[in-house]
Amino acid sequence: MSMRMGGTGVGQTGGGRTGVDPASLALLRSYWHELRLRAEGELPRRGDIDPRRIEEALSCAFLAERIAPGMARFRLAGMHLADLMGIDVRGIPISTLFDVDSRERLASVVARVLTGPGVGEVWLGSPASLGRAALTGRLLLLPLRPEGSQPLIFGCLVTDGAIGRAPRRLTILRSAVDMVDAQPAERPGPRLRLRLPDFGAAGLEPPPPPPRAAPGRKHLRLVKG
């Protein structure tokens, strides 16, 4: 099934919009690991994703494609990302959501996620300003199997607090990338049986005693010197 996000991708107006449940991060991470298990350790494909399995997280989920080393742009995105920016984010770089000082650090995380590959997690903040309350958030970046030569990221961005006046620019507080093994788990080969010569019980028996002389009268023989 192809992956589609709900809504038009255009943010709403008004300052009452709030963040989304951080449980969405756990849902996407768990589903991604499930897809890896089905693929015997390989990275999941985009076509493997069933939106019905992550319905509760679609508003903050996204699919991004690499456009340069350390840079990726949104191909699909949920409504929450549009609310943060105040515009449809499809086709724009992920870095647009971040302040200038955080973009180089974001590029490092994106590069490691795609080349590792690795699972990236970024802790975010956005300070209060005119018409904007302080925000905190987290970004999850999950690598997908490339489409041809096009590396892909399956991700999720959640925030806590009223969004207020868009656009919001995010600051990276800290980040982590956990490398994953994208190769299928090695399967044990067929067990080989080594045939040895027959060393059974018969071969372990003691040798038979020498033949005994036929019974009869014993004789003494006189030898002259």
Counted domains in the chain: 1
Within-domain flag for 18: no
Within-domain flag for 75: yes
Within-domain flag for 7: no
pLDDT reported for residue 201: 44
pLDDT reported for residue 224: 52
pLDDT reported for residue 209: 62
pLDDT reported for residue 193: 46
Domain hosting residue 36, numbered range: 23-179
Q: What is the CATH number of the domain that holds 118?
A: 3.30.450.20
pLDDT reported for residue 199: 39
Give the 3-state secondary structure of the chain.
CCCCCCCCCCCCCCCCCCCCCCHHHHHHHHHHHHHHHHCCCCCCCHHHCCHHHHHHHHHHEEEEEEEECCEEEEEEECHHHHHHHCCCCCCCEHHHHECHHHHHHHHHHHHHHHHCCEEEEEEEEECCECCECCEEEEEEEEEEEEECCEEEEEEEEEEECCCCCCCCCEEEEEEEEEECCCCCCCCCCCCCCCCCCCCCHHHHCCCCCCCCCCCCCCCCCCCCC
Within-domain flag for 81: yes
pLDDT tens digits in sequence order for the chain, 225 residues long: 344 554 433 333 334 566 667 899 999 999 999 999 999 999 999 999 999 999 999 999 999 999 999 999 999 999 999 999 999 999 999 999 999 999 999 999 999 999 999 999 999 999 999 989 999 999 999 999 999 889 999 999 999 999 999 999 999 999 999 999 855 444 444 444 444 444 344 444 555 666 665 555 555 454 554
Within-domain flag for 64: yes
Within-domain flag for 200: no
Within-domain flag for 160: yes
Within-domain flag for 111: yes
pTM attached to this predicted model: 0.75
